[in-house]
Structure 1
C-alpha cells in the first residue's frame, strides 16, 4: 500500500467519523423533539408519522441500485418481520421512557445494549466470547446498577422501561446479525420501515389527536432529522469500516447531555455520570476486544431507529 493510498483511506475514515458524530447529534435533537411531543401526544401517533417518512426514505434507498421487487426479497422473511416488530416495540418503549426520564438518563442505560448483544450472541448464536469480554459485560451491568441504585431510596421504576428498551434493542441487533448473513442491509432496512409503517397505519388512527401548527412543525422536524441522521450514517459507512465508526456511537451520550441541559435544563447527577462512564468504558473495551479477535461488528446503520 502506497503512502498516498494510506493517506486517502485515513482522510475518508476521518470524514466517516465526523459524519457519525454529527448523526449522533441529529438523533439527540430528534429525541429532544420526541420528549416534547410525548408530553401531549400518544406514542403510536408520534412514531406513526416517523415511520411513514422513514418508509419513504427506506424505499428510495433500497430501490436506488436494484428494483424494489428484488430489494424486498428475503431468504428469511419471517425473521425479518420478527425483528421489525421488535424494533417497533422498542421505539414505543423508548418514547414512553423519554416522557418521564431525562435524555441522559435514558442514553446512559441504553449505552449498555452492545454489552447485552455480546451476552446474547454467546448464549443464542453460540459465538465465542472470551473471559475478558464476559468480564466487561458484568462490569457494564454493575454500571447499570450504579445508575438505577435499587434499594437506596432513589430507584425509579420508570428506569426499568429504559432498561427494557435496551434489551429489546439488543434483541433486534442479534436478529439483524442473523438476517445479515443472507440478506442485504437495504433489505433489512426496507422490511423494518414497511412492516412498522403498516402496523402503525392500522392502529395509529385510534390514538390521533389533531396536532397544532407548532406540533406539525415539530413532527416535520422529527421526520427530517430521522432522514438526515440515517443519510449521514449510510454515507459514513461508505467511507469507513463499521468497526472504526462503532466507538463514536457513544458520542450520543455526550450530545444527549448537552441537548437535555439546553432544552430541558436537565443535568445528570453524580451517580448517573459514574454509572454511565462504567457502562461506556465496558462497551468500548468490548469493541476493542472484538476488533482484536476480528469479530464482525454490527453495522452502525443498524444501531439507530426510524
Structure 2
C-alpha cells in the first residue's frame, strides 16, 4: 500500500473530523434551555430525508434483516444524541469533545467484557490513563450533570460501535444508517410530544446543519477506511480534539486550561500508541516471508 494512499486517507479523516466539529457547532449555538427531544427528532428526520436519495438500491426482502439489533442500536444512538446535545449546550466545546473521546477507551473495556478480547498492557494503560484523564479534565468539583451526559454519550458511541459486529455483513453503510434513523424516529417523535415544548421552527436550521455535516463526516470516514486498514490512520481521528480547541477558542472565547491539556493528552496518547502498534503488526504480517 503506497504512502500516497495512506496520506489521502489521513487527509480525509482530518477533514471529516472538522466536519463533525461543524455539526457540533450547530448544536453548541442552541440555547441551554432548548427542548432536546424536539431537536433530536428534527435532526433525525432531517438525516433520514438526506439519506433517502442515496438508498434507492437496497435488498428488498432483507431490508429489515437484523432488525432487533438495529432497533437496540438505534435507541442507544438516540439516547447518546440527547446526551450529546445536553453536553454541548452546557460545557465548553473542547471539554465536551474530550469526554466524547472516552468512547474508544470504553470500546476496549467492553470488548474485553463481552467479547473476551484480551487486553494488552498498552490497552490496559489506555483504559486507566483515559479514565484518569477524564478526572483531570473535570476535577471532582466540576463533575456536574452535563459532564455525566457527555460520558453517557461516549458510552452510547462505544455500544453502537460494538453492536456493528452483530449487524448483517452484506448491508451497506447507507442501509445501516437508513434503518438506524428509521427505527429511532417514532420514539424520538413520542419523546418530543411528551416533552410538551412549544414548536420552535428556528431549530430546523440547526437540525439541518448538524445533520448535513455529520453525514459528511460519515462519508469521509467510509472513504478513508475503504482505502487503508483502520490501524494505519485511526490516530488522525483525534485531530477532532484539536479542531474543538481551536474553534472553541476562536468562536466561543473558550480558553483551555492546563488541566484540560494534561487530561486530553492522557486520553489521546495511549490510543494513538495502540494505533501505531497495530499498524506495525499489520505491516510485519504482510511482509513476513511464507514457508513452503
TM-score (norm 2): 0.85
Check if 1:133 corresponds to 2:126.
no
Once the two structures are superposed, what CA deviation does each residue of 1:63-116 show, in whole Å capped at 9, x if it has no partner? Answer: 3xx435256242x32112101110110010010111110111111111121111
- 1:266 corresponding residue in structure 2: 254
Would the aligned equivalents of 2:122 and 2:270 in 1 still touch at CA under 8 Å? Answer: no
CA distance in 2, matches of 1:189, 1:265: 35
Would the aligned equivalents of 2:32 and 2:86 in 1 still touch at CA under 8 Å? Answer: no
CA distance in 2, matches of 1:42, 1:198: 17
Q: 1:83 aligns with which of 50, 62, 73?
A: 73
- 2:38 corresponding residue in structure 1: 45
Q: 2:49 aligns with which of 45, 51, 56?
A: 56
TM-score (norm 1): 0.82
Question: 1:222: how far off?
Answer: 2.4
Correspondence 1:96-107 to 2 at 5 A? 96-107=86-97
- 1:302 corresponding residue in structure 2: none
Correspondence 1:217-236 to 2 at 5 A? 217-236=205-224
CA distance in 1, matches of 2:221, 2:129: 29
Q: Secondary structure at the match of 2:117?
A: coil
Question: 1:180: how far off?
Answer: 5.8
Correspondence 1:187-198 to 2 at 5 A? 187-198=175-186
Correspondence 1:15-30 to 2 at 5 A? 15-30=8-23
Question: 1:188: how far off?
Answer: 2.6
Q: 2:138 aligns with which of 117, 123, 148?
A: 148
Question: 1:40: how far off?
Answer: 4.9
For the structure 1 residues 137 and 71, does the alpha-carbon distance in structure 2 shift closer, same or farther, using more than 3 Å as the test?
A: same
Question: 1:140: how far off?
Answer: 1.6
CA distance in 2, matches of 1:271, 1:111: 16
Would the aligned equivalents of 2:46 and 2:208 in 1 still touch at CA under 8 Å? Answer: no
Would the aligned equivalents of 2:137 and 2:260 in 1 still touch at CA under 8 Å? Answer: yes
Q: CA RMSD in A?
A: 2.4
Question: 1:121: how far off?
Answer: 0.3
CA distance in 1, matches of 2:174, 2:142: 43
Check if 1:35 corresponds to 2:23.
no
Unaligned runs of 5+ residues in structure 1 are: 1-5, 295-306
- 1:117 corresponding residue in structure 2: 107
CA distance in 2, matches of 1:119, 1:256: 25
- 2:192 corresponding residue in structure 1: 204
Check if 1:67 corresponds to 2:63.
no
For the structure 1 residues 162 and 219, does the alpha-carbon distance in structure 2 shift closer, same or farther, using more than 3 Å as the test?
A: closer
Check if 1:95 corresponds to 2:88.
no
Check if 1:171 corresponds to 2:164.
no
